[in-house]
Structure 1
């Protein structure tokens, strides 16, 4: 049995994975404040059977299935893929950093309340990761406290940038300080990435190529911003295997040795800081997954699937079992590492 504040989780031998990276879209959105036109405010329209379309600024943003909000459908999919627990977080576009702060605060609270309801209905199969209106730090700190202290969420999901500002920027230090104090985990997901003007091809390339690039730059900003040196108790994980960061790290290491200004700026060498980050397993290749354990350490890799969207890892347990033969390592990557990251306590039945 595993325990976390607000719920009990019973471990099953046939279904024991913990998926850190899976998203929620509410079945409906509230009307905008006062019914007025708020740029960026989402709405939902019916699509074909079991699907609906998120509409933003009168344009279809994404058609999603009811797996985004239907608890029973999620549980059935989890059982098929061997996932015992999902950490539910908002679809990144619902961060709403670009919406006026007061309106965004209400929208984010609605999404978080939907997640809280799903956690309750899930009977111990879900934990919550809250979105925050990070364009307003005071509102964000209030929502962080509400969701973690009152709703029992395991932590928060934040974007790789906030309206172009990297998350390693010192303006977000109060957020990291409060997350550390509360023991809240932080999951970083790409949102509105830089460089999309450099892509040649159809719109899905934003997810395929630009997302991992932005996540890599976000992880690098946490290292070069000395975030974990300032907040050593912080637990922070990056989606998509840390994106491009594993390839950037050797350059950071060499730069640390080459440029005195970089060595003077960094509190610790980049490779040492990197091994205090977590990353998910969503890289779609066994060899790349093995490479991540060499960079970050075997205790820092977590399952991530991007469920329930199409561009996802359908067989996360099989992926780990194909990549690694050692039973103890498989156990860490599928379950134990996530227990530590989400601060879930396992009870051994005697």
Structure 2
């Protein structure tokens, strides 16, 4: 399904609205959550506390986690904002705290299935303008693979969103390779988002610094672990993208490249230079800066940068198409970054 086909099918665009972007980084929160399995309390299980007609607060372990608007679960609200900001399609994924990796595995799987079913319902309401990137219980690889098969085979999702770490273990660790192997076989895209980042004890300041500084640091380590863990060597057809512009990885890559040329132990684990492997990764455009966006294209390549916003949260890129237009004058490059690269990453032309 191309962007043009989706636009023609829905007919939802206002007169004069030129909506072409595909947003690979936007989240969903259900309007409500079921009770935990078994009837008793389950540590880490979310609930929702209504605040106003259009806002609610996600509660985890009896503490407010985040206030969210109904744009998280109301299709019409999303579509209106998409029209305004030039977005033709969104890939819907869970708010990262809903991964539930820290929940007992079978209960975590129940949570993932519930959130994925909500995503599927919203995709149906979107009339061709939404696709799904579901969550899976990565704390249990067998359950994660089973849910991956369900969301791709039964729900028709284009792929999966996973965390930058699983309870502190880097995603490049060999124990997760069977999951990635299955994603490659299924042709499922993998979108990596920061979750519960390392190093929070080193930050001085208020809680939002977790999102501002902690997230990109953890994503950078996650991207590095995919290369140093040999994942891309084993699975060359895996389509994997990293949120927040790949975090700090673009800055870490020159050090990794130099270390590769200096330390035999690093060469032993990487038969191919890190800089070459890096150009097989995808990253989103969510860096809030035109110069940094140009740097991402230089590091990862013109075909590997995807439009991403972090919609519908307040800390997001509100003018994503305009940011790309600010950074690049070449029309063909703008088209790649705005929608063509995302079409390839999500395999939309195969629908």
Cα deviation digits, residues 140-160 of structure 1 (max 9, x gap): 000000000111000000000
Aligned equivalents of 1:226, 1:267: Cα separation in 2: 9
Separation (CA, whole Å) in 2 of partners of 1:344 and 1:70? 24
- 1:10 Cα deviation from its structure 2 partner: 3.3
Structure 1 distance, partners of 2:244, 2:94, is 16
Question: Superposed, which structure 2 residues align to 1:76-91 within 5 Å?
Answer: 76-91=80-95
Match of 1:232 in 2: 236
Q: 1:346: how far off? A: 8.1
The reply to whether residue 128 of structure 1 matches residue 128 of structure 2 is no
1:335 aligns with 2:335: no
Residue number in structure 2 paired with 1:308: 312
Matches within 5 A, 1:16-35: 16-35=20-39
CA distance in 2: counterparts of 1:297 and 1:278, whole angstroms: 9
**Match status 1:46 vs 2:50:** yes
The CA RMSD measured in Å over matched residues stands at 1.4
1:276 aligns with 2:280: yes
Q: How does 1:63-212 map to 2 (within 5 A)?
A: 63-212=67-216
Structure 2 residues without counterparts, runs of 5 or longer:
none
Partner of 1:10: 7
Structure 1 position 49, deviation (Å): 3.1
Query: Tell me, what secondary structure is at the counterpart of 2:302?
Result: coil
Give the 3-state SS of the residue equivalent to 1:9 in structure 2.
Answer: helix
What TM-score, normalized by structure 2, do the two folds share?
Answer: 0.96
Cα separation, 2, equivalents of 1:250 and 1:50: 46
TM-superposition CA deviations, 1:67-126 (whole Å, max 9, x none): 000000000000000000000000000000000011111011000000000001100000
Deviation at 1:55, TM superposition (A): 0.4
Return the alpha-carbon distance in structure 2 between the equivalents of residues 2 and 313 of structure 1: 24
Structure 1 equivalent of residue 221 of structure 2: 217
| TM-score between the two structures when normalised by the length of structure 1 | 0.96
The alignment covers a number of residue pairs equal to 344
Q: What is the SS of the residue equivalent to 2:26?
A: strand
What CA distance in whole angstroms lies between the structure 2 residues aligned with 1:113 and 1:267? 41
Q: Moved runs in structure 1, 4+ residues, more than 4 A? A: none
For residues 48-79 of structure 1, give each alpha carbon's deviation from its aligned partner in whole angstroms, at most 9, with x where no partner exists: 23000000111000010000000000000000
- 1:262 is aligned to 266
- Aligned equivalents of 2:46 and 2:154: distance in 1? 26
